[in-house]
Amino acid sequence: MALRRCWRLAGVAPRLLWNSTVLPGASVPGRSSASNLINSHHGGKTTELQLRRFTSAPPSTGVSYEQMKQLLAGRKAVVVDVREPWELREYGFIPGSINVPLGQVNTALQLGPEEFIEKYGGEMPQQTDNIVFTCLAGVRSKAALNTAASLGYKDVQHYPGGWQDWVKNEQQN
């Protein structure tokens, strides 16, 4: 009997979704907006449903070169470079950054402060610290940001331009 009820309910959800249309100007579900409005028609009545997309990452996460320079100068952020150590040796690194390879970010952010200092040579970021992740071109730093956010770090950002943008801007100055 319970199975029969489940099968009856299984037919309702697809019909509700099938009869829904997106309002003009509303974003499509799955896009980057935080909330979407859907106009639903049922028996001549129009109802408005609000759908929310949940994410652990903060809404604005990108840092420009100028912002990065200010954060470093004022020591207002912990900058974590998630490239591999050989990349830093071969190409260079942003002065003041701590190297924690992407594959180690999850476990590194769960270490004790003394262990972190011993292994990575810098102060372990606290969950309330402003942390900026960087890499070569912004892909790995975004993944590190998502990892940190999932671990409860609140003020996390990344430098989308990464090392490539840093070098380009530094050469111009």
Instruction: Concatenate the DSSP letters of all residues of 120-134 into one string.
Output: HSSPPPPTTSEEEEE
Indicate the number of domains in the chain: 2
Q: Which residue from 85, 115, 89, 118 is spatially nearest to 100, judged by alpha carbons?
A: 85
Q: Are residues 78 and 106 in the same domain?
A: yes
Q: Is the pLDDT of residue 172 over 70?
A: yes
The domain in which residue 93 lies consists of 65-172
Q: Which residues does residue 155 pair with via DSSP β-bridges, in sequence order?
A: 130
pLDDT > 50? residue 162 = yes
Q: What is the pLDDT of residue 44?
A: 57
Q: How far apart are CA 90 and CA 131, in angstroms?
A: 24
Give tens-digit pLDDT for 89-138: 999 999 999 999 999 999 999 999 999 999 999 999 998 999 999 999 99
User: What's the order of all strands across the beta sheet hosting 45-52?
Assistant: 20-22, 35-42, 45-52
Residue 58 falls within a domain, yes or no? no
Residue 60 is predicted with a pLDDT of 59
| CATH code of the domain covering residue 81 | 3.40.250.10
Catalytic residue among 68, 108, 131, 135: 135
Residue with token string 């859907």: 38
Model pLDDT for residues 23-81, shown as the tens digit of each residue? 444 444 443 333 334 444 455 555 444 444 444 544 558 999 999 999 999 988 999 99
The residue count for the chain = 173
Statement to judge: residues 25 and 106 lie in one domain:
no
135 belongs to the catalytic site: yes
Q: Are residues 69 and 44 in the same domain?
A: no
For residue range 136-152, list pLDDT tens digits in order. 999 999 999 999 999 99
Question: Is the predicted pLDDT of residue 173 greater than 70, yes or no?
Answer: yes
The two tokens of residue 152 are 């409860």
Distance CA 119, CA 114 (A): 9
Q: Where are the alpha helices (DSSP H) in 61-125?
A: 65-73, 85-91, 105-108, 113-120
Q: What is the pLDDT of residue 61?
A: 83
